[in-house]
Structure 1
Amino acid sequence: MVNLCDLKQEPIINYPTFWDYKVIFDVGIKAGESFEEILGQREFKYKHSNSSTSGKYQSYLLSVYVDSKKDRLEIFEKLKAKAKFVL
């Protein structure tokens, strides 16, 4: 049985590590250029993962080397400012 108190605890993440983000852009946005602009010289890799059935969106799996929780969340916020959705 799962203890509900365990679900409320933040997971333990050992930094530095690669962190994966699912990033969804409108079609026509150049993902690679956007990632380079946001991440600069930081180590990362990405690949196209899906297209919406309507053809309006493209999703990508982005893996970025992060140093800390603060670093991970700052990248998330920068991605959110450029992308349609970030997971």
Structure 2
Amino acid sequence: MVIINESTQKLELQYPCNWCYKVVAHERAGIEIAALEIFGERSYSLNPSNTSRGGKYISMNLELLVHNEEERTYFYETLKAHPHVKMVL
């Protein structure tokens, strides 16, 4: 469940929860490699999302269970830093 605190506009999540990252790369294999290297045996789903108009980039939705904000942020930063990944939303 997601709650937005109106006084601070801070997102308040109830953990554990499923979280979806949109991962952008030049090719699907790069995202698959990054996910395998980062998450290993951990359960996650990886589904196609979009391809850029010129076909230079693709995006995929990566969803997994996160247990707290630190873990959610760590996965975001780790994905973003992976050499095969161009961007994470």
- Name the TM tier (shorter chain): 0.7 to 0.9
CA distance in 1, matches of 2:14, 2:88: 22
Segments ≥4 residues shifted beyond 6 Å: none
Q: CA RMSD in A?
A: 1.8
Partner residue in 1 for 2:53: 53
Gaps of 5+ in 1: none
Q: Larger C-alpha radius of gyration, 1 or 2?
A: 1
TM value normalised by structure 1: 0.84
Query: What is the aligned residue count?
Result: 83
TM value normalised by structure 2: 0.82
Structure 1 stretch 8-17 or stretch 76-85: which is displaced more? 8-17
Identity rate, percent: 34
Please state whether the residue corresponding to 2:10 is helix, strand or coil. coil
Partner residue in 2 for 1:73: 73
* Greater helix content: 1
